[in-house]
């Protein structure tokens, strides 16, 4: 679909308050609502304190009793990258605190589904846990908590997903999004929440003299920040100031070679140099491979990669994850072809106009890949999308993705409130959610979803717009500026990497690697290399085109020891 190119606005007075920065950075940061240079200080001293998290004292008391009493602690995780990193942070931290009986259990999505279900509590019985700690899940698992409590198991929930009207009867709940929680940042990922809990527990144990008693060095919690950064980026939570500190500090450790061997191994398999790792590398290279385990197999494999301190063993697991990711890509491509064919037929029936809210289902689709497919379709058609796949018996599992302006979990809550028997269970965030329905209600749900979406989205919001930071002067199209922008992050969700748009003369254009367009572009006599990935090869190369309007990012291309500036082109419009 066509895209509208819009330029970000910013207040001149905010830019002026950033006077000590490069002029380009002033307008970029001002457009992202950075009010002062202080907000760009990514030192650990700027992290919000853990004391204001609701329930933190009770959670730490229970965990402290478990550690010092040599009780059996079971971490119940989730099967995505945030859940895997959350599990790894919890296990690594507790073991470094001297806990002797710490194990983890992550649900297999195909056998148990999401979260602390009664079935998972039953599966946990061989571990004989005294205390269950959920990470990146639990806030919606009333029945699972009740099942654990009925067996005499205490439960501490650590989560970041939005709660329902009632909270489960856990012994302690840590979730910045629960009612009444005064913690200033509501955007912690699951891994950020458990990191904060472990920070508080470390202080509690130190104050109790535990480390001295056991002759243990007091653990340095910053050693976990590489894993925290990975989970935070992978879960696409907004990079507010607090999250930027967590990601920045984690990237700093990775670049210094002070990270776990599993992250290094996954970066190497993706052809990335750990010394130059950026937030995007964590998302597209590391998290994608980590997620493949939970999508196609069992996330225990990914967690093992994050827990191993043996480089050779980590590389071996990373290779298995890479193979799973290749398999995932193949499955996804087939599903995407089927989805696009179905949407083309639907558009033809509706005379070219697709519903505002899209629901897609095919009985052959893989349950582990529907989230990626929903994201791809959402990006292509700029519509909220739910993709369903068959689950057990007569159930369908759905994965939802939304666009800016529509809170997808709230949409599901509205449908559930009006038709309480329609959705069996649901949960999630503003931009992503999951749900379960039965096959027989799919058509009814599809109609209701489109109706609710149509009520809450305007035509303007359905226009696919690219927001850019404007044009660059030829003097700014340099390697030095590209390096400056790379170091000015971390960039990510709600703090987007700078995009620019300009008109260029086209000197050369050719397809490389089957689907990528390599370009030589000129602006005011300055010659630049550019590349556009996965172009429509029916439209490009376009040798009738002498100039283009390009939306691009400045990148550093490193080849045979040499570094050059390169334009990574997100959108091309031929101008004739």
- Does 100 share its domain with 70? yes
Give the phi and the psi of residue 205 in degrees, each rounded to 5. -65, -40
358 and 416 assigned to the same domain: yes
In a domain, 482, yes or no: yes
Find the mean pLDDT for residues 49-54: 97
Report if residue 195 sits inside a domain: yes
Which of the four pLDDT bands, split at 50, 70 and 90, describes residue 1? low
Cα separation of 292 and 84, whole Å? Answer: 12
The tokens for 509 are 């254009």
pLDDT band at 345 (very low <50, low <70, confident <90, very high): very high
Q: Are 86 and 77 in contact (CB under 8 A)?
A: yes
Q: Which CATH number fits the domain that encloses residue 176?
A: 3.90.1640.30
Q: Is residue 33 part of a domain?
A: no
Q: Are residues 273 and 361 in the same domain?
A: no
Angle at 59 between CA 151 and CA 114, to 5 degrees: 60
Residue 114 in contact with residue 98, Cβ under 8 Å? no
In a domain, 24, yes or no: no
Residue 357 DSSP one-character state: S
Query: Which among 130, 135, 133, 128 has a CA at the least distance from the CA of 114?
Result: 135
**pLDDT exceeds 80 at position 331:** yes
State how far the Cα of 387 lies from the Cα of 424, in Å rounded to an integer.
Answer: 16
Residues 6+ apart with CB under 8 A from 406: 384, 453, 456, 457, 461
Tokens of 176: 């910045």
Print the domain residue range for 368: 331-456
Residues facing residue 557 across a β-bridge: 564
What confidence tens digit (pLDDT) does each residue in 474-500 have?
999 999 999 999 999 999 999 999 999
Given a cut of 90, whether residue 558 has pLDDT beyond it is no
Q: Is 237 helix (H, G, I), strand (E, B) or coil?
A: coil
What are 229-253's pLDDT values in tens digits? Answer: 999 999 989 999 999 999 999 999 9
Average pLDDT, the chain: 95
Q: Are 64 and 204 in contact (CB under 8 A)?
A: yes
pLDDT of residue 114: 79
The pLDDT of residue 393: 82
Instruction: Please spell the DSSP secondary structure of 172-220, one letter per residue.
Output: EEE-TTSTT---S-----HHHHHHHHHHHHHHHHHHTTHHHHTT-PPP-
Separation between Cα atoms, residue 445 and residue 416, nearest integer Å: 10
Task: Tell me the whole-structure pTM to 2 decimals.
Answer: 0.93
Domain identity same for 253 and 301: yes
Report the distance separating Cα 328 and Cα 318, nearest Å. Answer: 15
- Alpha-carbon distance values, 138 to 237, 330, 397, 533 (Å): 18, 32, 18, 39
Q: Which residues contact 37 (CB under 8 A, 6 or more apart)?
A: 18, 20, 21
- Judge whether 35 lies within some domain: no
Q: Tell me, yes or no, whether 293 and 264 share the same domain.
A: yes
Report yes or no on 11 lying in a domain. Answer: no
pLDDT at 108 over 90: no
Q: For residues 95 and 416, give the distance between their C-alpha atoms in angstroms, rounded to a whole number.
A: 42
Alpha-carbon span 47 to 44, nearest angstrom: 6
pLDDT digits (tens, 9 = 90+) for 62-75: 999 999 999 999 99
Q: Which residues pair with 400 in a beta bridge?
A: 386, 433
Residues 287 and 348 in one domain: no
pLDDT category of residue 297 using cuts at 50, 70 and 90: confident
Element (H, E) at 231: helix 225-234
Please return the burial class of 4, using the count of CB atoms within 10 Å of its CB with bins 0-12, 13-18 and 19+: exposed
Asked whether the beta carbons of 498 and 553 are under 8 A apart, the reply is yes
- Whole-number pLDDT of residue 361: 97
Same domain assignment for residues 346 and 242? no
> What is the pLDDT averaged over residues 526-543?
94
Angle, in degrees to the nearest 10, between helices 81-96 and 225-234: 160
Q: What's the rounded mean pLDDT across residues 92-99?
A: 98
Q: Are 270 and 263 spatial neighbours (Cβ–Cβ below 8 Å)?
A: no
Name the strand (E) or helix (H) holding 373.
helix 370-381
**369 shares a domain with 234:** no
Instruction: Give Cα separations from 534 to 240, 313, 497 (angstroms).
Output: 31, 34, 20
Mark which of 302, 322, 342 sits at the end of a domain.
Answer: 322
Q: Is 472 helix (H, G, I), strand (E, B) or coil?
A: coil
pLDDT bucket at 351, cuts 50 / 70 / 90: confident
The string of pLDDT tens digits covering residues 396-449 is: 999 999 998 999 999 999 999 999 999 998 988 888 999 999 999 999 999 999
**CATH code (residue 425):** 3.10.310.30
Can you spell out the DSSP letters for 43-82?
SGGGSPPGGGSTTHHHHHHHHHHHHHTT--EEEE--SSHH
Question: Which helix (H) or strand (E) element contains residue 243?
Answer: helix 241-255
Domain boundary among 407, 431, 456: 456
Segment 360-391, tens digit of pLDDT:
999 999 999 999 999 999 999 999 999 999 98
The residue behind tokens 């859940």 is: 83
Query: Which residue, of 280, 305, 322, is where some domain finishes?
Result: 322
CATH number of 563's domain? 2.40.50.460
How many Å apart are CA 160 and CA 197, to the nearest integer? Answer: 13
Q: What is the DSSP letter of 135?
A: E
> For residue 492, what are the CA distances in angstroms to 148, 280, 452, 537?
38, 8, 29, 29
Structure tokens at 246: 């967590």
Please list, residue by residue across 515-529, b when 16 or more beta carbons sit within 10 angstroms of its beta carbon and e when fewer do. eebebebebeeeebe
Q: How many domains does the chain have?
A: 3
Per-residue pLDDT reduced to its tens digit, 123-157: 999 999 999 999 999 999 999 999 999 999 999 99
Q: How distant, in Å, are the alpha carbons of 60, 74, 87, 351, 360 from that of 65?
A: 8, 14, 20, 65, 49
In a domain, 313, yes or no: yes
The verdict on 281 and 314 lying in the same domain is: yes
Mapped to the 3 state alphabet, what secondary structure does 501-523 carry? EEEEEEEEEEEECCCEEEEEEEE
Q: What is the dihedral of CA 265, 267, 270, 271, to 10 degrees?
A: -100
The answer on pLDDT for 574 being more than 90 is: yes
Angle between helices 311-349 and 370-381 (to 10 degrees): 50
Q: Is residue 26 part of a domain?
A: no
Cβ–Cβ under 8 Å, residues 372 and 294 = no
Do 452 and 475 sit in the same domain of this protein?
no
- Check whether residue 108 and residue 206 sit in a common domain: yes
Tokens of 9: 């606005």
**Do 492 and 446 belong together in one domain?**
no
- Which residues, including other chains, have CB under 8 Å from residue 146's CB and lie 6 or more apart? 118, 168, 169
∠ Cα 356 362 365 (to 5°): 115
């Amino acid at each position: 679909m066509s895209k509208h190119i819009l330029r970000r606005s910013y207040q001149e007075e905010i830019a002026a308050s950033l006077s000590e920065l490069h002029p380009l950075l002033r307008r970029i940061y001002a457009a992202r609502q950075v009010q002062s240079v202080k907000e760009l200080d990514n030192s650990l001293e700027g992290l919000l304190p853990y004391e204001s998290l609701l329930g933190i004292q009770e959670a730490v008391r229970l965990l402290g009793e478990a550690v010092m009493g040599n009780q059996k602690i079971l971490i119940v995780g989730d099967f995505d990258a945030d859940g895997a990193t959350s599990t790894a942070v919890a296990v690594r931290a507790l073991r470094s605190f001297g806990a002797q009986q710490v194990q983890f259990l992550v649900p297999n999505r195909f056998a148990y589904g999401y979260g602390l279900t009664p079935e998972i509590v039953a599966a946990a019985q061989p571990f004989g846990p005294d205390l269950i700690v959920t990470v990146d899940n639990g806030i919606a698992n009333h029945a699972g908590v009740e099942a654990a409590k009925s067996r005499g198991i205490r439960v501490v929930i650590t989560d970041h997903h939005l709660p329902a009207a009632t909270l489960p009867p856990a012994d302690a709940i840590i979730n910045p999004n629960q009612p009444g929680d005064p913690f200033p940042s509501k955007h912690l990922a699951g891994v950020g929440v458990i990191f904060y809990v472990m920070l508080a527990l470390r202080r509690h144990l130190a104050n109790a003299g535990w480390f001295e008693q056991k002759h243990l060095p007091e653990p340095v919690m910053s050693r976990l920040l590489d894993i925290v950064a990975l989970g935070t980026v992978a879960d696409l939570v907004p990079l507010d100031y607090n999250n930027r500190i967590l990601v920045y500090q984690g990237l700093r450790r990775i670049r210094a070679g002070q990270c776990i061997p599993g992250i290094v191994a996954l970066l190497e398999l993706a052809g990335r140099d750990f010394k130059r790792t950026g937030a995007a590398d964590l998302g597209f290279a590391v998290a994608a491979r980590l997620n493949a385990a939970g999508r196609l197999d069992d996330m225990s494999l990914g967690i093992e990669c994050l827990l191993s301190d043996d480089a050779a063993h980590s590389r071996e697991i990373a290779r298995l994850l890479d193979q799973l990711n290749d398999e995932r890509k193949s499955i996804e491509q087939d599903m995407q072809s089927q989805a696009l064919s179905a949407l083309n037929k639907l558009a033809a029936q509706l005379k070219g106009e697709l519903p505002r809210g899209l629901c897609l289902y095919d009985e052959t689709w893989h349950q582990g890949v529907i989230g990626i497919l929903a994201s791809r379709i959402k990006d292509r058609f700029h519509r909220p999308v739910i993709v369903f796949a068959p689950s057990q018996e007569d159930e369908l599992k759905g994965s939802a993705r939304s666009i800016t302006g529509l809170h997808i979990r709230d949409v599901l809550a509205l449908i559930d409130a009006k038709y309480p028997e329609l959705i069996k269970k649901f949960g999630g965030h503003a931009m992503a959610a999951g749900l379960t329905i039965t096959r027989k209600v799919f058509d009814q749900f599809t109609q209701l979803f489109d109706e609710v979406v149509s009520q809450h989205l305007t035509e303007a919001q359905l226009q696919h717009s690219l927001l850019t930071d404007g044009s660059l002067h030829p003097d700014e199209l340099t390697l030095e500026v590209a390096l400056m922008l790379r170091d000015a992050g971390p960039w990510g969700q709600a703090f987007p990497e700078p995009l620019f748009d300009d008109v260029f003369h086209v000197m050369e254009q050719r397809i490389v690697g089957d689907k990528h367009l390599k370009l030589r572009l000129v602006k005011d006599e300055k010659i630049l290399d550019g590349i556009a990935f996965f172009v429509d090869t029916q439209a490009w190369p376009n040798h009738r085109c002498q100039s283009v309007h390009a939306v691009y990012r400045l990148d550093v291309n490193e080849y045979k020891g040499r570094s050059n500036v390169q334009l990574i082109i997100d959108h091309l419009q031929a101008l004739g």
